[in-house]
Structure 1
Amino acid sequence: MLRQITRRTYSSLNRAGPIPIGNKAQQKEMLDLIRKKQESNASSNGTDLHQDAMKKPTPEFTGDVNPKTGEVNGPKNEPVKHNDWSFGGRVTDF
């Protein structure tokens, strides 16, 4: 006894990429925007931060020795500010 197996394929769901929009002009515009964004991401060197990313705080002193405490090779900013421990501008609660 032979069984026949039917496999359905949905070509629009099997391919990578966004699902097509009904309007051809909107589809072309969307694909152009995606391509432009991918090219700009490929051309950046990877050191650029997103505009919403939190910037690291500026160091309070230059050099290896803290002028207030005399500590050598310590943190450039006071880690305990406002009664919270902070590192790189982020506050940590114990």
Structure 2
Amino acid sequence: MIRRSIHRTYTSLNRPGPLPLGNKKHQQEMLDLIRKKQSKDAASDINDIHEDALKKPKPEFTGDVNPKTGEVNGPKNEPVKHNDWSFGGRVTDF
């Protein structure tokens, strides 16, 4: 039995990565954007929050005492607004 070795040529279409656009200017622009995003992701801290993530609401008052109710060390935002209970600005059913 004779075995033939298979020689495969690797082109840009059979390796992982973005598909070539055909226009060298557009291709270079796309590659530059990809490298910029990858370097930004690599340089970001692990504890950074994604730019699309919802931010926590700003506290309604400063200090430890709520000026409206006089509560000490309570929540900085009113948890019940518009007849809904919320945690960190997200409304939940209970």
Shorter-chain TM band: 0.5 to 0.7
* CA drift at 1:27: 1.6
Larger deviation: 83-92 or 57-66?
A: 57-66
Distance 2:24 2:41 in 1: 26
Cα RMSD (Å)? 3.0
Work out the number of aligned pairs and report it.
Answer: 91
Percent identity, aligned pairs only, is: 67
Matching of residues 27-46 of structure 1 within 5 Å: 27-45=27-45
TM-score by length of 1: 0.67
Map of 1:80 onto structure 2: 80
Please tell me the residue identity of whatever aligns with 1:47. Answer: D
Structure 1, unpaired ranges of 5+: none
Q: Pick the structure with more helix per residue.
A: 1
Map of 2:58 onto structure 1: 58
Structure 2, unpaired ranges of 5+: none
